[in-house]
Amino acid sequence: MVEGILSKAFWVVYATVFAAATVVYGQQVPCYFIFGDSTFDSGNNNNLQSKAKVNYSPYGIDFPEGPTGRFTNGRTIADIIGELSGFRDFIPPFAGASPKQAHIGMNYASGGGGLRKETSKHLGGRISLRKQIQNHKKAIKKAKVPVQRLEQCLYTINIGSNDYINNYFMSELYNTSSLFDPNEYAYSLNRLYRTHLKRLHSLGARKIALFSISLIGCTPKMIVSHGGGQGCAKDVNAAVAIFNNNLKDLVNDFNKNFKGAEFTYVDIFSAGDPLAFARLGFKVGDKGCCTLSPGEELCVPNKPVCANRSEYLFWDDIHSSEATNKMAAIGSFYGPLGSPYSISQLVKQ
């Protein structure tokens, strides 16, 4: 994820807008809805029979409420975007939220969730994007949220990583890599994504920030499993790049052909300047901060973690640290990661 975040342009923007990013005057949109996978999940998997849940220490060690189900040590990218948009409280997970919360916002994201129905099935319970949108429909209908309000809300979506990590590049459990070449697979995912976005648009969503899949081939997990332990898995990143290019086209299609659509593409993939790691204070990018068991990607419960968490790009074997999340959130909110809009421009439209 991080090479895409820490580009030269990002470093310049981060350095110049950091002070502004810490001061927000008033809530800029009436509500905020969050969809996606573990990158954005804030606890929707906690009560599922699932291996993809982290409601235990040391997750949340730097979060005000402790372990909540967030797959990091502190805030997620979505949490920080909410703060930058002026929300006083974190948007709560759909699981357990009161009906009236739909007037303010809900987080539907789920660890292991994907575009394809079977994605991450080996992990047990998880909520696909299709089901997340169904949950959203139920929530806004039950709360009777006016369409005019929904059209002014902010929506963020981060989905697709699991369709590669926990599907296409897990050939011992899934057959998609034998059914599709990388171009065909990306196209099939794009078609699914388009269907889901049409449904969300029909429910009033207009201001949507669609996050690219990050450089998942450069996560500690994929470096070992598909990069031979010698560096980023190039085949993984190449396949993801095809998906991301299609996603850019999808954003342009919606903005051109769907009434009122103001979609933006958030690029957390594109390769950047390695020297930016040091400029931003990161020193460790090839392993996570927490204690891991051999072959596992999630932190061992209640075991020691690194003291210098702000210097680690990754929290566990695949998820980013709060420090990295902060970089991504600021870059997407103020630019230059967003196209054709930064999220700050989107919420002011």
**Positions marked active-site:** 38, 316, 319
Which tokens is 264 given? Answer: 């933006």
Q: Which of 137, 150, 132, 179 is nearest to 34 (CA)?
A: 132
The dihedrals phi and psi of 331, each to the nearest 5 degrees, come to -65, -35
Residues 6+ apart with CB under 8 A from 50: 111, 112, 123, 124, 125, 126
Given the structure tokens 């450069």, which residue do they identify? 218
Q: Are 94 and 135 in contact (CB under 8 A)?
A: yes
The dihedrals phi and psi of 209, each to the nearest 5 degrees, come to -100, 115
Q: Are 310 and 281 in contact (CB under 8 A)?
A: yes
Q: Which amino acid is at 185?
A: Y
Question: What is the C-alpha to C-alpha distance for residues 112 and 96, in angstroms, rounded to an integer?
Answer: 19
Which tokens is 63 given? Answer: 């979060």
CA atoms within 13 A on the CB side of 32: 25
Residues 6+ apart with CB under 8 A from 261: 201, 206, 208, 254, 255
Q: Tell me the sheet residues that pair with 288.
A: 314
The total of other beta-carbon atoms located within 10 Å of residue 198's CB is 11
Residues 6+ apart with CB under 8 A from 104: 30, 31, 32, 87, 91
Q: Which of 41, 105, 113, 51 is nearest to 72 (CA)?
A: 41
Question: What is the C-alpha to C-alpha distance for residues 29 and 3, in angstroms, rounded to an integer?
Answer: 31
